[in-house]
């Protein structure tokens, strides 16, 4: 379980909350839900995107990468 990790919504940047009952993440801001597989795919899509004009987005991708890498290591 990784309930202590707080990932962020790939759509709006809101906090995602792990819902153990439904086994998915739900966004606290826009209500979007992700299963672990969906979140993984969404993050991979972000990595693939090479948008030099948007430094903020790049920084956020890096945050995702850090989070994702560390969450995998803990397993
Ligand atoms: Zn959201």
Q: pLDDT tens digit string along 48-58?
A: 765 555 667 77
Distance 16 CA to ligand 1 centre (A): 8
Distance 51 CA to ligand 1 centre (A): 21
Q: pLDDT tens across 24-75, in order?
A: 999 999 999 999 999 988 888 877 765 555 667 777 788 888 888 888 776 5
Residues present in the chain in total: 75
The two structure tokens encoding residue 54: 């948007």
Q: What's the chain look like in SS3?
A: CCCCCCCECCCCCCEEEEECCCCEEEECCCCCEECHHHHHHHHHHHHHCCCCCCHHHHHHHHHHHHHHHHHHHHC
Distance 27 CA to ligand 1 centre (A): 5
Distance 61 CA to ligand 1 centre (A): 15
């Amino acid at each position: 379980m990784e309930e202590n990790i707080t990932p962020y919504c790939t759509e709006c940047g809101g906090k995602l909350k792990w819902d153990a009952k439904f086994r998915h993440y739900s966004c606290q801001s826009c209500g979007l839900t992700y299963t672990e597989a969906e979140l993984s795919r969404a993050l991979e899509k972000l990595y693939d995107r090479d948008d030099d004009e948007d430094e903020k987005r790049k920084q956020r991708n890096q945050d995702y990468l850090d989070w994702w890498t560390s969450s995998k290591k803990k397993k």
